[in-house]
Structure 1
Amino acid sequence: MPKSLSPLSSGALAIVLATGWAATAQAELPAQQQEQAPGWFRTMVGEYEVTALHDGHTAIDTSLLKGMEQDEILRHLDALFIDAENGMQTAVNAFLIHTGENLVLVDAGSAACFGPSLGQVESNLRASGYSPEDVDTVLMTHLHPDHVCGITNESGEAVYPNAELRASQADADFWLDEERAAALPEADRAFFDMAQEAVAPYQESGRFKPFTEGDEVLTGIVAQDTHGHTVGHSSFMLTSDDDAMLVWGDVVHSYGVQFADPTVAIEFDSDPEQAVRTRENVLESAVDDKHWVAGAHMPFPGIGHIVENEEGYQWLPIEFAPLATEE
């Protein structure tokens, strides 16, 4: 070994070389990737394929929840690690149902009505393997803009050009009434205007057909009366073989609060007392009948079961699993 390179200096050189390699490796580390996987999730209800489609998320201020003190609301949310400092993050979901006879979309998301964090139903429907042209029926739980705006694009054209659009007669009579909207102050017309603009291309082409509660709107899909959030808010019970799922729209907005205390309403309820009664009945039935539920504002994919606990009700989200395939 040359005198200029002693064992000690050799070790020091190794450290220098290693440090230099680590620095080079760190410098070459790629940037963190901020994108998520496509927002769709698939499961089976008997023979029916159900695909949850994520429209995105928004934030709801806790002051919009009514019937519980703010400190108690925050206690419930904090117990579930829900950070509500800048509002409760709230998902917006839609559900695509392949019955074997029909391809049915329940709700359509918000399109551009509520900003860039929403409006992804159409792209996620495509990512899931279908196209808007494949959909033959669009069922609306109600005509609020975060559910109905997605049926029409910014040019005023139908996103689902081959689909029949169906909403409850009661909701249609309320939200599509131009005279009712015109009688309101301009600041209060927005929800009416957005609903009417979204539905217009389907009405003009003769593809808007209201239903009444209790109708079997398609084979194995029955419209249930769950009004209170809006005058004609509806849910859809899917039944196939020995399995069932209730797509319940806006029965629950805050799982962190309203499962613990179903009497908590939200500012957007048209009839808060009726909305509470509806929620209590739906939750009780979900526990008794043990059917699946799918919620528009439950954490994506929004599918799960309801059980009772010592405080009230508890949400049990579905677990990921590959679909069973025939050998």
Structure 2
Amino acid sequence: MEFSRRHALAGAAALAASPLISAAPARAAVPLADKQAPSFYRYKIGDAQVNAISDGASTFPLPDSLVLNVKKDEVNAALERAFMPKDKMTIHFAPLVINTGGKLVVIDTGNGPGAFASSKGNVGQFTSNMTAAGFDPKAVDTVVISHFHGDHINGLLTADGAATFPNAEVLVPAVEWKYWMDDGEMSRAPAGRMADQFKNIRRIFDAGLKKKVTPYEWGKDVAPGLLAVESIGHTPGHTSYVLSSGSDKLFIQSDVTNHPALFAVNPGWHLMFDQDPAQAETTRRKVYDMLVADRMRVQGFHYPFPANGFVEKDGNGYRLVPAPWSPVI
């Protein structure tokens, strides 16, 4: 059956000409909901269960300098092509809980309770959503950190400054640890964002966590089946991971891109949050070429939730194809 604009207009005209049907007595409307259900999504990689846990999303006015090497008008055009409103940016956050069968592993920890309070609950949801998904923070064996930006480490502490995961070892990239814990690097950091990052990183790790921290090297497993992979540029020690179980593999890209509608589609765009934008671009192209060639599933910290799918080549860039939602695990 063909459905044309003519059919639609005819149907609308008939509906407009129909007498109003006498309705039953009016009833009070159901109160509007004021929040989403807890946000988590599970899928399997071999025998391992991956649990994407939303930490929320942050929406803010589009900065003139979000993309360093492109004019704001071009960024707005890309936002509109992706059916996103112009002049504002929404960034998503999705830490992981991986159940290997023998270990419960958290990868990155979200924005933390301070951001939850200041954002009125828009971000900092990781712990509450993790608990809603059935995981007790006390049961976590290992916390693996990809890099030291606040949206990845601030959730290591509770609102009263205690360890969120009191029984977990905290694994950090050795290169990242060396850079941010270097007093000389801190003294040379320019005022503003970089200096503030050093202060925040020291605040987090000086709060009783240093004894729990173990630096790790690239090219080695940091948990069963979880290989640490160098993916520098975003920070000096930025790390991604390959989760392997049986014949299945998942690439956990951390912050190789920010929102894919901008930075996968345009891999040459330099994000203001990348510490070494040129190196970040080189890493991004290398990683995404690999994902295309290997048809490997990818999980992205800043992808729209549930933040995973597959990548295909699209012109001079790449396109994220979201993995189909499944009602079963």
Query: Does TM-score exceed 0.5, indicating one fold?
Result: yes
Q: How large is the RMSD of aligned CA atoms in angstroms? A: 2.0
Task: Supply the AA of the counterpart residue of 2:157.
Answer: T
Partner residue in 2 for 1:286: 291
Aligned pairs for 1:20-35 (under 5 A) are 22=25, 24-25=26-27, 28-35=28-35
What is the identity percentage for the equivalent residue pairs of Structure 1 and Structure 2?
29
Task: Supply the AA of the counterpart residue of 2:71.
Answer: E
Worse overlay, 278-287 or 74-83: 74-83
The alignment partner of 2:43 has SS state of: strand
Aligned pairs for 1:194-205 (under 5 A) are 194-201=200-207, 203-204=209-210
Partner residue in 1 for 2:308: 303
Worse overlay, 114-123 or 229-238: 114-123
Count of aligned pairs: 303
Residue 72 of structure 1: how far off its partner (Å): 2.1
1:188-243 deviations in Å (ceiling 9; x for gaps): 42211222222234544x21001111121122111000000000000011001111
Structure 1 runs (4+) greater than 4 angstroms displaced: 182-186
- Kindly name which structure, 1 or 2, has the bigger radius of gyration based on alpha carbons: 1
Query: Does residue 267 of structure 1 match 2:275?
Result: no
Partner residue in 1 for 2:5: none
**Taking structure 1 as reference, are residues 202 and 168 closer, same or farther at Cα in structure 2, changes over 3 Å only?**
farther
Residue 159 of structure 1: how far off its partner (Å): 0.2
Judge conservation of contact 2:105–2:223 (CA < 8 Å) in 1.
Answer: no
Unaligned regions of 5+ residues in structure 1, if any?
1-14
Query: Does residue 110 of structure 1 match 2:115?
Result: no
Worse overlay, 249-258 or 111-120: 111-120
Residue 298 of structure 1: how far off its partner (Å): 0.5
Cα distance in 1 for residues equivalent to 2:45 and 2:260: 23
Task: Supply the AA of the counterpart residue of 2:196.
Answer: A
Query: Does residue 222 of structure 1 match 2:227?
Result: yes
Task: Supply the AA of the counterpart residue of 1:303.
Answer: N
The alignment partner of 2:167 has SS state of: coil
**Taking structure 1 as reference, are residues 66 and 38 closer, same or farther at Cα in structure 2, changes over 3 Å only?**
same
Cα distance in 2 for residues equivalent to 1:74 and 1:247: 28
The alignment partner of 1:210 has SS state of: strand
Residue 34 of structure 1: how far off its partner (Å): 2.4
Judge conservation of contact 1:171–1:231 (CA < 8 Å) in 2.
Answer: yes
TM-score of the superposed pair, with normalisation by structure 1: 0.87
Judge conservation of contact 1:249–1:296 (CA < 8 Å) in 2.
Answer: yes
The alignment partner of 2:94 has SS state of: strand
Partner residue in 1 for 2:16: none
Judge conservation of contact 1:113–1:145 (CA < 8 Å) in 2.
Answer: no
Cα distance in 2 for residues equivalent to 1:310 and 1:228: 24
**Taking structure 1 as reference, are residues 30 and 323 closer, same or farther at Cα in structure 2, changes over 3 Å only?**
closer
Aligned pairs for 1:127-146 (under 5 A) are 127-146=132-151
Task: Supply the AA of the counterpart residue of 1:67.
Answer: N
Judge conservation of contact 1:164–1:202 (CA < 8 Å) in 2.
Answer: no
Partner residue in 2 for 1:5: none
Judge conservation of contact 2:259–2:304 (CA < 8 Å) in 1.
Answer: no
Partner residue in 2 for 1:7: none
